[in-house]
Structure 1
Amino acid sequence: MRTPSLILPLLLALSAGHTSANDDLSACLARLQPQAKAAGIRADVFAGYTQGLQSDDTVLDALDYQPEFRTPIWDYLAGLVDAQRVQDGQALLEEHAALLRDIEAAYGVDPATVVAVWGVESDYGRTFGSKPLLRSLATLSCAGRRQAFFQGELFALLKLFQAGDLSGKDLTGSWAGAFGHTQFMPSTYARIAVDGDGDGRRDLVGSVPDALASTANYLKRAGWRSGQPWGHEARLPAGFDTGLSGRTARRPLTDWRARGVVRADGGELPADDRAAALLLPAGKQGPAFLVFRNYDAIYSYNAAESYALAIALLADQLRGGKGLQAAWPTDDPGLSRAGRREVQEHLLALGHDIGPVDGMIGKLSREAIRSEQARLGLPVDGRAGQRLLEALRAAAPSPTPPEEATIETQPRETNP
């Protein structure tokens, strides 16, 4: 047991470090105030929203980690394009049918694509993000890389408060400052957001019509072409030159047809000269995609191939499509959110303190998974895949039937 004489200096040191970080933030914000004034932000607004903000170093850790670039694509898509998200999205297509028809008439973007963005970005408004926006953007404006970028986002957010589009210091979002139903950055909000419900405000947090109309406006301005598909899953002939792939390596469809590329569902490619690029996100052994200009519009929302494919493939399934024809090149497929929740339930039953069962495999879940992988003789990588789930199921004790089950005569009450 540590003696008080050893503990006190440690506590003082930790307290001093925390105070120093907050002092640094306050000093930095004071230096930014003249720039904010030059950007059109009143002094009282700047002071009212930034006074007393504390630094959040966790956003600096997140700055160098993005799952779109680090997660195997079969894991990334398994969690974003699962049966539950398709089912929920199809229900919302029906619920908001009239609104989505009006949006398509105004912006030319089909309902399934708009709803797919909504589903991928916030699970249809269920998960806006838990980070206080002001605190995150203030921290990123004063520490780490890309400070100038985040200063611009902080100023844009303050101007939205000043204009009355948003209110409340407790607004939350992603670690990087994206927020609302379809996770706009503040500067994008300022440029692109529209008033979809006619109340005179552009509220992408509290108004579904504003959020969905703004999303369609974004895609239109990014080059969306009405009535055209994002692309097709493709099948390549034997010996195909994969060096021709890449999002920017566009060729006319007639060229791809001449090289023996066909649609994965057996249909022929359109016989026109529309420019298309070939994507091989998992190499030549995985699914292939021919993508058009509308895919680029989706890609501009968040510049990652896996992200754009998630929206495109979810939109296809919202329209009734059957999903991918080709399998990903892995013998350990990714898990849906339901599968990830089952993994977490097993971890809790085994005594691991991982927090809530939410289908989100975070740090605590990964640590517990590594422990169980070592126990079960699996590769220790902290990944929640099909092989881990099957091993946990096999190792779980069988439920013991109730002792009196054989003589029970009254019918059991069941939940609806």
Structure 2
Amino acid sequence: MTDKKRFLKAGALAGALLLNSTLPAHSQIDYQSWLENFRQKAAQSGISKKTLDGTLTGLTPNKRVLELDRRQPEFSLTFWKYLNNSISDKRIKRGRELLKKHAGLFKKVHEKYGVQPRFLVAFWGLETNFGDYTGVFPLIQSLTTLAHDERRREFFTKQLITALEVMDRGDIPYDVKASWAGAMGYCQFMPTTYKAYAVDGDGDNKRDMWNSLPDVFYSAANFLSQSGWQPGETWGREVKIPKNLNLDLTGLGTKKQIGDWAKLGILNIDGKALPKADIKASLILPSGYKGPAFLVYENFRTILDWNRSNFYAIAVGHLADRLVWKGPLQSPQRKETPLSRAQTLKIQARLNALGYDVGKPDGIAGSRTRKGIKAFQKKNNIPADGYPNAELLGLLK
């Protein structure tokens, strides 16, 4: 599903409000003034006075939310640290037990949507540890804090107005708790995802993402199915790459048939030939050319629609594999020191100074920063994997 289609699904009301309420990036308008302006626009767009009074009264910004936004684990941890934090023997054991316990429900969901049960349990485990931690932050306070903040104002303004819409319809209570970023329920749906994809799986005319497992899993599978999930296919596989591989071929921007990757010397992680299958794949290096390598398929891209982090998508796929008794990753775990936000800021500032436009430095190594790193590496005859680390920082200095 394209970003354009997904935006249209979010609703015309959210789009209309964005045009009126999104402030210029340089604006330093204070929170209370911004909130009053937002409230007026929300009222003009059709949100009832009852809902606005019940949600936007007495609010103050939550500084903790902003702190957490600046140091998300996908950006602040190394690959192996992130993976080891996400996938433990305890989580695997519990996931297998739940997969068996709710087999009947998962079978029905699989038959309807084509999403394999092991992936649904993997999402459930990674998002909330199987429902143990659904969030303690008041939803509207978090969303107003992030919508007022400049970093991702447009995205969170859309989430905020959508949350008010579904509250106005009575779908969720005003005082609902969520993650710091506004993700809700057992599988942590954002408000726009809830509005577009949540399903009444148990037939009680509610879409309850906290107390009804049928609602949770029918909704999760509905989202994945409509986002392009390929029934019968897996997410990817760990592979070995030859030392002379052209690293320009790495990244999600390149797709090749598995047979074409095999011709370039790519092998399965056990040293055997890749399977013969009519599937296109991309080659990703989540911790640079010295770390593990993965061929990833279309379902990997669909997982990214849930969370735009390669670390996260690999963790979902690998946990799903472990739940059905596949083994751990085989690449050796290298010890790495994660970059601090200040160090990433230095990398971005230095790249900009050298003419590699990576945008305004924000301390988060996103796709634009990695593209700039890759260009710098190529120009200086360094393996161009686009990976930010302490060695790169030293070279830039």
TM-score tier, shorter chain, comes to 0.7 to 0.9
2:309 is aligned to 304
Contact (CA 8 Å) 1:253, 1:276: kept in 2 or not? yes
- Pairing 1:253-332 to 2, within 5 Å after superposition: 253-330=258-335
Structure 2 alignment gaps of length 5 or more: 1-28, 339-397
SS in 1 for 2:282: strand
Structure 1 residues 49 and 252 mapped into 2: Cα distance closer, same or farther (>3 Å)?
same
Q: CA-to-partner distance for each residue in 1:262-295, whole Å, 9 max, x for gaps?
A: 2113443232442111111122332211111011
Q: Name the amino acid aligned to 1:281.
A: P
Map of 1:241 onto structure 2: 246
| Residue equivalent to 2:170 | 164
1:141 aligned residue (129, 141, 147): 147
Structure 1 residue 331: Cα displacement = 7.8
1:32 aligns with 2:55: no
| Matching of residue 105 in structure 1 with residue 111 in structure 2 | yes
Find the partner of 1:127 among 100, 124, 133: 133
Q: Distance in 2 between matches of 1:322 and 1:60?
A: 38
Greater mean alpha carbon deviation, residues 240-249 or residues 23-32: 23-32
Distance 1:108 1:38, change over 3 A: farther
CA contact (8 A) 1:164 1:201 kept: no
Look up the SS of the partner of 2:306 in the other structure.
Answer: coil
- 1:207 alignment partner in structure 2: 212
Verify the 8 A CA contact 1:236 1:262 in the aligned structure 2. yes
How many residues align structurally? 310
Which of these residues, 86, 91, 97, is aligned with residue 92 of structure 2?
Answer: 86
Deviation at residue 184 of structure 1 after TM alignment: 0.9
Separation (CA, whole Å) in 2 of partners of 1:182 and 1:46: 27
| Post-superposition offset of 1:332 | 9.2
2:186 corresponds in structure 1 to: 181
Distance in structure 2 (CA, Å) of the matches to 1:326 and 1:145: 36
User: What CA distance in whole angstroms lies between the structure 2 residues aligned with 1:305 and 1:37?
Assistant: 39
Q: What CA deviation, in whole Å up to 9, does each residue of 1:53-74 have, x standing for no partner? A: 2221222223322210221011
- Give me the whole-angstrom Cα distance separating, in 1, the residues matched to 2:172 and 2:122: 25
Distance 2:336 2:306 in 1: 32
Per the alignment, residue 231 of structure 2 pairs with 226
* Match of residue 118 from structure 1: 124
The residue that corresponds to 1:154 in the other structure is: 160
**Structure 2 CA distance for aligned equivalents of residues 156 and 181 of structure 1:** 19
Aligned match of 1:197: 202
After TM superposition, the score normalised by the length of structure 2 is 0.74
What stretches of structure 1 of length at least 5 have no aligned partner?
1-22, 334-416
Say if 2:39 and 2:56, in contact at 8 Å, map to a contact too.
Answer: no
- Of 59, 68, 76, 1:62 maps to 68
Q: 1:257, 1:269 within 8 Å by CA — same for their partners in 2? A: yes
Amino acid at match of 1:257: A
Residue 131 of structure 1: CA displacement? 1.4
Alpha-carbon separation, structure 2, partners of 1:239 and 1:26: 57
Give the stretch that moved more between structures: 106-115 or 240-249. 240-249
Superposed CA deviations along residues 116-152 of structure 1, whole A, max 9, x for unmatched, are 0111111111111221111111222334433333222
Code of the aligned partner of 2:241: L
Query: Per the alignment, in what secondary structure is the counterpart of residue 300 of structure 1?
Result: helix
Report % sequence identity: 38
Q: Distance in 1 between matches of 2:62 and 2:114?
A: 41
TM-score in terms of structure 1 length: 0.70
2:254 maps to a residue whose letter is A
Q: Note the 1:333-344 alignment, pairs <5 A.
A: none
- Hey, what's the Cα distance between the residues in 2 that align with 1:236 and 1:141? 43
State the one-letter code of the partner of 2:202.
D
State the SS of the aligned residue for 1:234. Answer: strand
Deviations 1:338-380 (A, max 9, x none): xxxxxxxxxxxxxxxxxxxxxxxxxxxxxxxxxxxxxxxxxxx
Residue 50, structure 1, aligned to residue 56, structure 2: yes
Deviations 1:307-358 (A, max 9, x none): 110101000001111110112222899xxxxxxxxxxxxxxxxxxxxxxxxx
Q: Aligned partners of 1:281, 1:328: CA distance in 2, in Å?
A: 13
**One-letter code aligned to 2:152:** R
Change (3 A) 1:269 1:38: farther
Structure 1 pair 331/148, CA: closer, same or farther in 2 (3 Å)?
A: closer
Give the match for residue 390 of structure 2. none
CA displacement, residues 152-184 of structure 1 (integer Å, 9 cap, x when unaligned): 212211222222221241x22221111211111
- 1:155 alignment partner, SS class: helix
Go from structure 1 to structure 2 and tell me whether the alpha carbon gap of 1:278 and 1:143 turns closer, same or farther (over 3 Å shift): closer
